């Protein structure tokens, strides 16, 4: 029997832990034999000391072994793809990518998580849809994949339960943004979930866990190595998160924007990233096509309405309503206007994300309840020219006081200058 305090001490002092001892710590935590406070201390030791490649793979493997696994390819007789993001502000990409890819004839199955700090969680967004079920049994998951071609579910008690526990613990112990912990968390879900080809969206910038392109590249390489060790194809997109993605930040607001994008009317930067991800996923699929053809087919699915049809079938299959008018709306909408004229030289993603959390769109503690209606819609982004009195953003709030406070936080996220900033594409680099 391991002694958690001894492992914490050894990791704190910079030792590399044997795979079997690290695995036993994780599995013991999943069984309830290791308390939260000891696992939190271990995560903090890892935060400062890091994990070796061997330890990272051992952690990932242990989290997978803490529950069941599924082979979607064998269950469906098809090559199944998956897409995941490291988390960002306004990042609702999976909501649009999934139905577009499925409409192109490629099954996409995904296990997702909830919000971590200032980043929104895919499950939180989906749960703003009345009736939507994020918890499906494995049989239901497979049946829906076979029938609709797409399913996004939460981590059940049967699939990577150790990661589900750690995911919530890291959120409230300031140990989220550590490369090995991020890589293990993401890849444990991907590998246990059974997809054979995976596109990972690694966010870079002040609203991301990875602040620099070098850190993002290292995270991408770590996840690719884990995937290769498990026999999976993995491609990483390094994408900009110095400003929010798209316009909407907040759960129901982001669902509306995702649907707009599926219909072909989304914000330009968000639409570009969605189509880039779709092209990569379709090229990795069993269709036998390249990226250029993948993008053409994705654009066609949006244009002919088949992507929206798949969106509606997907939502209804998981118990949700496909009527967007049923999405919750905030009782107060406050328009924030530009105090001076000029170019938006900066729109801080993390400041917008934190403002959304303070409105109630995210969690500050593990047990916080999400307000699905509130959030922010940014109307002016980096590089845009604004005049005095022009709308910069809308603050969707529960009360007038919260709206005014949120507007002050949003205004502080903006910098307006006389000179237009240099252009920065949403897709910065591809690592494969």
> How many CB atoms are closer than 10 A to CB 243?
25
- The whole-angstrom separation of Cα 283 and Cα 290 is 5
- The whole-angstrom separation of Cα 255 and Cα 263 is 12
- The whole-angstrom separation of Cα 177 and Cα 180 is 9
| Active-site residue identified among 110, 164, 189, 372 | 189
CB neighbour burial string for 8-37, b if at least 16 within 10 angstroms, e if fewer = beebeeeeebeeeebbbbbbbbbeeebeee
Specify whether 185 is catalytic. Answer: yes
CA angle 138, 314, 186 (to 5 degrees): 55
Length reported for the chain: 432
Query: Please, is 2 exposed, middle or buried when counting C-beta atoms within 10 Å of its C-beta (0-12, 13-18, 19+)?
Result: middle
| Active-site residue identified among 66, 128, 180, 185 | 185
Specify whether 358 is catalytic. Answer: no
Closest by CA position to 127, among listed 270, 250, 248: 250
- The whole-angstrom separation of Cα 79 and Cα 72 is 8
- Residues 210 and 239: beta-carbon distance below 8 Å: no
Specify whether 366 is catalytic. Answer: no
CA angle 402, 396, 328 (to 5 degrees): 120
| Active-site residue identified among 11, 83, 170, 334 | 170
| Active-site residue identified among 11, 84, 179, 372 | 84
Question: Which residues are catalytic, by number?
Answer: 84, 163, 170, 185, 189
């Amino acid at each position: 029997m391991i002694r958690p305090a001894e492992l914490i001490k050894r990791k704190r002092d910079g030792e590399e832990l044997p795979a079997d001892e690290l695995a036993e710590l994780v599995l013991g935590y999943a069984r309830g034999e290791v308390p939260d406070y000891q696992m939190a201390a271990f995560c903090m030791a890892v935060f400062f000391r890091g994990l070796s490649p061997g330890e990272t793979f051992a952690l990932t493997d242990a989290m997978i072994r803490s529950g069941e696994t599924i082979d979607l390819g064998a269950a469906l007789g098809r090559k199944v793809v998956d897409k995941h993001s490291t988390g960002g502000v306004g990042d609702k990409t999976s909501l649009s990518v999934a139905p577009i890819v499925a409409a192109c004839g490629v099954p996409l199955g995904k296990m997702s998580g909830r919000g971590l700090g200032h980043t929104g969680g895919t499950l939180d967004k989906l749960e703003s849809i009345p009736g939507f079920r994020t918890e499906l049994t494995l049989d239901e998951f497979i049946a829906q994949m076979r029938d609709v071609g797409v399913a996004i579910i939460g981590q059940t008690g049967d699939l990577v339960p150790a990661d589900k526990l750690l995911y919530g613990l890291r959120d409230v112990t300031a140990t989220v943004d550590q490369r090995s912990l991020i890589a293990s968390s993401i890849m444990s879900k991907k590998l246990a979930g059974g997809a054979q080809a995976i596109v990972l969206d690694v966010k870079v910038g002040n609203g991301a866990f990875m602040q620099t392109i070098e850190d993002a590249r290292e995270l991408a390489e770590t996840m690719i190595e884990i995937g290769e060790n498990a026999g999976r194809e993995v491609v990483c997109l390094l994408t900009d998160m110095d400003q929010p993605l798209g316009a909407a930040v907040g759960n129901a607001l982001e669902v509306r924007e995702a649907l707009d994008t599926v219909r072909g009317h989304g914000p330009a930067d968000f639409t570009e990233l969605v189509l880039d991800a779709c092209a990569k996923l379709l090229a990795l699929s069993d269709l036998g096509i390249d990226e250029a053809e993948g993008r053409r087919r994705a654009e066609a699915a949006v244009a002919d309405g088949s992507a929206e049809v798949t969106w509606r079938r997907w939502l209804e299959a998981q118990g949700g309503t496909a009527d967007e008018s049923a999405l919750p709306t905030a009782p107060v909408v406050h328009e924030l206007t530009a105090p001076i004229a000029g170019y938006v030289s900066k729109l801080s993603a993390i400041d917008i994300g934190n403002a959304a959390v303070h409105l109630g769109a995210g969690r500050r503690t593990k047990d916080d309840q999400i307000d699905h209606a509130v959030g922010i819609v940014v109307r002016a982004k980096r590089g845009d020219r604004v005049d005095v009195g022009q709308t910069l953003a809308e603050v969707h709030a529960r009360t007038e006081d919260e709206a005014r406070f949120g507007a002050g936080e949003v205004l502080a996220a903006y910098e307006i200058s006389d000179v237009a900033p240099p252009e920065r594409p949403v897709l910065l680099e591809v690592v494969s």
